[in-house]
Amino acid sequence: MPTKIEKDSVTGTETTGHEWDGIKELNNPLPKWWLYVFYACVLFSAVWMVLYPSVPYLRSHFGGVLGYTQRDAVAKRLEEASGAQAQYRDQIAKLDIQAVKADADLNRFALAGGRVLFAENCAPCHQSGGTGAKGYPSLADDDWLWGGKLEDIQMTLQHGVRSTNDDDTRVSQMPRFLADGLLTMPQIQAVAQHVLSLSGLDKPNADGAKLFAEQCASCHGEQGKGMREVGAPNLTDKIWLYGGDKAVVVQSIAYSRGGVMPAWAGRLDDATIKMLALYVHALGGGE
């Protein structure tokens, strides 16, 4: 509060009473229109406070007489968005997956949507972009346990792998050769060496080869090239789901492996599963 109000002798304007180095500040008034705009803003905010959520209480807040919340607004927007997607999704649900791929518009929609759906549902195990991790197959490479055609992928998605709540699930069981007493540890070592030699990682082992023909070839094939009908991996390629060290291979033979994937048919609708299959197929390894 100014202590002394004085009039400036030159301009006749009052000073604010503030003085710096002998220079006094004139109290020049604001223009009226400016002030009215300011009042209008104050009025506007008062109305706003009544209409919209404004005053915070201790535990909640005043919600405004319009009952507007951003949560509702988001829900409404989402509903609108899924309404807009319906025309595509309905068609995708109706058509055969190959027909969806053949339709450029539907395919583009499926790939764009599949990307998001994959991140939501699949990426926790298979990693983003289908990179894969130890025990969770990469979906971007050209090595498929159960088949890499569109229909194969769709089937795997629907019924899962070793899924306990789906009767049509993809299932196979590799024996636990040591634990079930089928092979001794030295025999397993020999088989492991033979398996590694198939992809040039180790020297050939005649004993191992013989045991492999007896015990393993029925699923993995005589050449070790695997068999997709039973999800038996190709052992001759450079891809190792659990790792390509001898110790890991010994472990696999001795105690078996058996990855699990849920059946998605009950959780995701048909269109969603097709979109995911198309997306996975386009990651680079689709057949």
Contact 253, 235 (CB under 8 A): no
Nearer to other proteins, 92 or 263 (CB): 92
Q: Which is nearer to other proteins, 113 or 132 (CB)?
A: 132
Structure tokens at 122: 């699949």
In whole angstroms, how close is the CB of 166 to other proteins at the nearest point? 29
Please choose, from the candidates 269, 257, 287, the residue with its C-alpha nearest in 3D space to the C-alpha of residue 136: 257
Tokens of 71: 């949560």
CB 135 → other proteins: shortest distance, Å? 16
Exposure pattern of 98-131 as b/e (b: 16+ CB <10 Å)? eebbeeeebbebbeebbbebbeebbeeebeeebe
Cβ 264 to other proteins shortest distance, Å: 21
Residues lying near other proteins in the complex (CB under 8 A): 1, 5, 14, 27-35, 101, 127-132, 138, 140-143, 234, 237-239, 281-282, 284-286
Rounded Cα distance between 52 and 36, Å, is 24
CB of 168 to other proteins, least distance (A): 28
Q: Which of 7, 275, 25, 17 is nearest to 150 (CA)?
A: 275
194 vs 281 by CB, closer to other proteins: 281
Cβ 159 to other proteins shortest distance, Å: 25
Quote the tokens at residue 132: 């894969």
Judged by CB, which is closer to other proteins: 14, or 270?
Answer: 14
